């Protein structure tokens, strides 16, 4: 049995649902979106990820029609939507504050958009009931928004924005107001609903875990530009810059100068008086070029004895131990003063741990464990 991987972005014949073409948005002097070009495909669950003020919300509001475009064009199914007002777009939005109408019942909130389309009563009834069922809110149809819990409000907002069966659903920090446990459950619910309705979802979030969990592709943004667009696994394993590596998950960055030692192999001089680090990469570096080695903490091994088989092994001293239950993170100080984080799974009981504060330890990793970055 062959399983086709959902990856329309790799297919050059696939037409994108949304196309940003050199889009720029200015608020007075401030450039919120800077010459941005991006394709989003049908049935994608696309995440815009970045710190606050990076322009992700502005992008979403331009898609919804609440912000005009200063330069460039935005296409939906091949048509320019730059001048289409929000009420004429086949795009719906789920607001961060949910924006439920407080004077209407849950049922009327969901029916609101359908009524604007002058649908028949039986059609509206059927669609609202379907939406209530999808979001497991059958029992709450007659309640007012202030009579239900935060998690239920979130589902009403989702049901209301999906009721008109939009081509594209925009979700602005949809889970920001929920507590952690509920948020995790709701993430999976969102994915199920996205899959069962086949709607294209674009989600805005500053929570990298959330983006990684729900999205088919993630765009990491900074200062109005997209730094990298890729699948969650690619973003994590092959970040294209120190910014992305640092933004997604935990990472150690070692600054060094590169010297080629073979095909795709480099010796990295990171500090005087210490043996160089060996790293493999497909990127070409010239002799003496500045390079940054990014290594995830879980890819670094920690041991009391010097390992024989590792490509890189450095000795240091345990500065700190962060015990997280399932994992422990060791902060190891190297001779030059730099602190490297190494993470191990706690497969043993804590009482039997053999490394403690101030212990001299060896940290080691393979030549391919890290990513060598230019900037």
Partner 1 sequence: MKRMSWFNVTSLTLGFAFLYLPMIILVIYSFNASKLVTVWAGFSTRWYGELIQNEAFLDAAWVTIKVAVMSSTLATVLGTMAAYVLVRGGRFLGRTLFSGMIYAPLVMPEVITGLSLLLLFIGIGLDRGVLTIVLAHTTFSMCYVSVVVSSRLVTFDRSLEEAALDLGCSGWDAFRLVTLPIIAPAVISGWLLAFTLSLDDLVIASFTSGPSATTLPIKIFSAVRLGVSPEINALSTIMIAIVAIGVITASLVTKRNAIRAEADTRAAERAQA
Cα–Cα distance list, 67 to 25, 132, 151, 192, 281 (Å)? 9, 31, 29, 30, 42
Report the residue from 19, 160, 217, 296 that binds partner 1 according to the rule CB under 8 A. Answer: 160
Residue with Cβ nearer partner 1 (104 or 321): 104
Report the residue from 31, 84, 99, 321 that binds partner 1 according to the rule CB under 8 A. Answer: 99
Is there binding between residue 85 and partner 1 (CB under 8 A)? yes
Q: How far apart are CA 331 and CA 324, in angstroms?
A: 14
Report the residue from 51, 150, 335, 336 that binds partner 1 according to the rule CB under 8 A. Answer: 150
Is there binding between residue 232 and partner 1 (CB under 8 A)? no
Q: How far apart are CA 240 and CA 16, in angstroms?
A: 24
Is there binding between residue 68 and partner 1 (CB under 8 A)? no
Q: How far is the CB of 112 from partner 1 (least distance, A)?
A: 5
Total of residues contacting partner 1 (CB under 8 A): 31
Is there binding between residue 123 and partner 1 (CB under 8 A)? no
Ramachandran region, residue 363 (left: φ > 0; alpha: ψ -120 to 50; beta: rest): beta
Is there binding between residue 185 and partner 1 (CB under 8 A)? no
Would you say 182 and 176 are in contact if contact means Cβ atoms under 8 Å apart?
Answer: no
Cα–Cα distance list, 165 to 49, 93, 128, 194 (Å)? 25, 12, 12, 12
Report the residue from 148, 215, 258, 372 that binds partner 1 according to the rule CB under 8 A. Answer: 148
Is there binding between residue 83 and partner 1 (CB under 8 A)? no
> Which segment (33-41, 46-54, 62-70, 187-195) binds partner 1 by CB under 8 A?
62-70
Cα–Cα distance list, 228 to 48, 97, 152, 244 (Å)? 10, 28, 34, 7
Report the residue from 57, 58, 92, 252 that binds partner 1 according to the rule CB under 8 A. Answer: 92
Is there binding between residue 28 and partner 1 (CB under 8 A)? no
Q: Chain centroid to CA 89: how far?
A: 26
User: For the sheet containing 18-27, what is the strand order?
Assistant: 30-40, 18-27, 71-76, 79-80
Q: List helix spans (H) across the chain.
A: 56-64, 106-116, 121-134, 150-162, 180-197, 208-214, 232-237, 242-247
Is there binding between residue 341 and partner 1 (CB under 8 A)? no
> Which segment (9-17, 130-138, 144-152, 255-263) binds partner 1 by CB under 8 A?
144-152
Q: How far is the CB of 28 from partner 1 (least distance, A)?
A: 11
For partner 1, the binding residues (CB under 8 A) are: 64-66, 85-87, 91-93, 95-97, 99, 101-103, 112-113, 116-117, 144, 146-152, 160-161, 164
């Amino acid at each position: 049995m062959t399983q086709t991987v959902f990856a329309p972005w790799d297919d050059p014949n696939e037409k994108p649902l949304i196309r940003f073409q050199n889009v720029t948005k200015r608020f007075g002097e401030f450039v919120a979106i800077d010459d941005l070009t991006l394709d989003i495909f049908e049935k994608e669950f696309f995440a815009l990820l970045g710190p606050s003020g990076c322009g992700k919300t502005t992008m979403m509001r331009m898609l919804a029609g609440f912000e005009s475009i200063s330069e460039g064009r935005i296409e939906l199914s091949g048509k320019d939507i730059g001048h289409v007002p929000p009420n004429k777009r086949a795009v719906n939005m789920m607001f961060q504050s949910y924006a439920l109408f407080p004077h209407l019942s849950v049922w009327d909130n969901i029916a609101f958009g359908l009524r604007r389309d002058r649908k028949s009563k039986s059609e509206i009834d059927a669609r609202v009931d379907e939406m209530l069922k999808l979001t497991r809110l059958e029992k709450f149809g007659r309640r007012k928004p202030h009579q239900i819990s935060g998690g239920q409000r979130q589902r009403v907002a989702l049901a209301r924005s999906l009721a008109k069966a939009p081509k594209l659903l925009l979700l602005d920090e949809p889970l920001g107001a929920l507590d952690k446990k509920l948020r995790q459950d709701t993430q999976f619910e969102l994915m199920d609903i996205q899959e069962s309705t086949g709607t294209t979802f674009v989600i805005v979030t500053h929570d990298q875990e959330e983006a990684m969990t729900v999205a088919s592709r993630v765009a990491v943004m900074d200062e109005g530009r997209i730094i990298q667009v890729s699948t969650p696994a690619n973003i994590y394993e092959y970040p294209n810059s120190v910014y992305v590596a640092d933004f997604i998950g935990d990472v150690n960055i070692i600054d060094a100068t590169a010297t080629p030692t073979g095909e795709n192999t480099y010796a990295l001089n990171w500090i005087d008086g210490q043996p160089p680090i060996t790293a493999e990469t497909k990127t070409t570096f010239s002799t003496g070029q500045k390079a940054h080695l990014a290594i995830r903490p879980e890819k670094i091994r920690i041991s009391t004895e010097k390992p024989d088989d590792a490509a890189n092994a450095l000795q240091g001293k345990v500065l700190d131990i962060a015990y997280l239950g399932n994992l422990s993170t060791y902060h190891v100080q190297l001779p030059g003063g730099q602190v490297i984080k190494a993470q191990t799974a706690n497969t043993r009981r804590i009482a039997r741990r053999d490394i403690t504060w101030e212990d001299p330890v060896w940290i080691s990793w393979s030549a391919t464990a890290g990513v060598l970055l230019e900037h």
